Amino acid sequence: MISSIYQSSNTVLTPRVKQSFAACIEDGLALNDSPKFFFRADDIGAPSKNYSRMTALFLTYEIPLCLAVVPTWLTRKRWEAMDDFVKKGQDLFCWHMHGYRHMNYEVQGKNQEFGSIRSTTAVLNDISRGRERLQSILGEKFTPIFTPPWNRCSIETMQVLKEIGFKGISRSYGSMPNPPDGLEEFPVHVDLHTRKEKISEQGWQQLFKEITKGMQFSACGIMIHHMRMNEQAFIFFEYLLERLAVHKQIQIITFNDLI
């Protein structure tokens, strides 16, 4: 589903959106004069037009990107098909783990692949197999950070992550339960593409509030879902990257800079 803020037929951003974005950045800089950002792109595994277009923008503006890879979606053939982007993004891209199958196991409540309904043994098996698969395909490019599908998982899952050597977890800001000591948390504060506001104006207002608030933290995380991007989403996204790239006060990093 495409978020309401991207359902306009405009082929250019409105002056109001540009002004609001500029204001939210200036408000953030007033609270933190040297903010850091990271971008986290979820649901990576299969090459597509949207995937290629998204990664090409990061290469164009020389902006780092954390790519959350679903282990069972990635094959050697698919990885080889991404080879051109991988080589060009050698110093920009940070590849990490996004669940195992990206499958919901909950029978009620919100979607979770690694919720409390699953046994510790099942969780350990899936995470271990996923890590081994990514390490075998990605080699030294694999970073031991875990992004749970739907940004939620059980405390038992986080304990498993810590015990088998993962360095950190990335979920939505404010997610509970808290991770155990020794497992760092790298939250995303800004949701670009899975927004639920039904009215476009409300969506824009909330998005810009998220950016300003996120700039107060040690690193403001921005979450991307390339499969939910249409032309309007790409227009705003490129504008966002372009504007962040020219701010000398802003530093854009990856998980590799945080662990």
**pLDDT tens-digit series, residues 163-220:** 999 999 999 999 999 999 999 999 999 999 999 999 999 999 999 999 999 999 999 9
**How large is the average pLDDT for residues 37-55?**
96
Tens of pLDDT, residues 93-127: 999 999 999 999 999 999 999 999 999 999 999 99
Integer Cα distance of 94 and 30 in angstroms: 30
For all residues of the chain together, what is the average pLDDT?
96
Residue 144: name the closest of 120, 121, 127 by CA. Answer: 127
CB 231 within 8 A of CB 220: no
Largest CA distance in the chain: 54
Integer Cα distance of 163 and 6 in angstroms: 42
pLDDT, position 89 = 87
> DSSP letter string over 59-82?
HHTT--EEEEE-GGG--HHHHHHT
Residue 181 neighbours by CB under 8 Å, 6+ apart: none
Domains of the chain listed by start with CATH number: 4-257 (3.20.20.370)
Tens of pLDDT, residues 59-87: 999 999 999 999 999 999 999 998 888 89
pLDDT, position 123 = 98
**How large is the average pLDDT for residues 232-241?**
97
> DSSP letter string over 116-138?
TTS-HHHHHHHHHHHHHHHHHHH
Residue 223: is its pLDDT beyond 90? yes
**How large is the average pLDDT for residues 215-234?**
97
Structure tokens at 24: 């939210």
**How large is the average pLDDT for residues 154-161?**
98
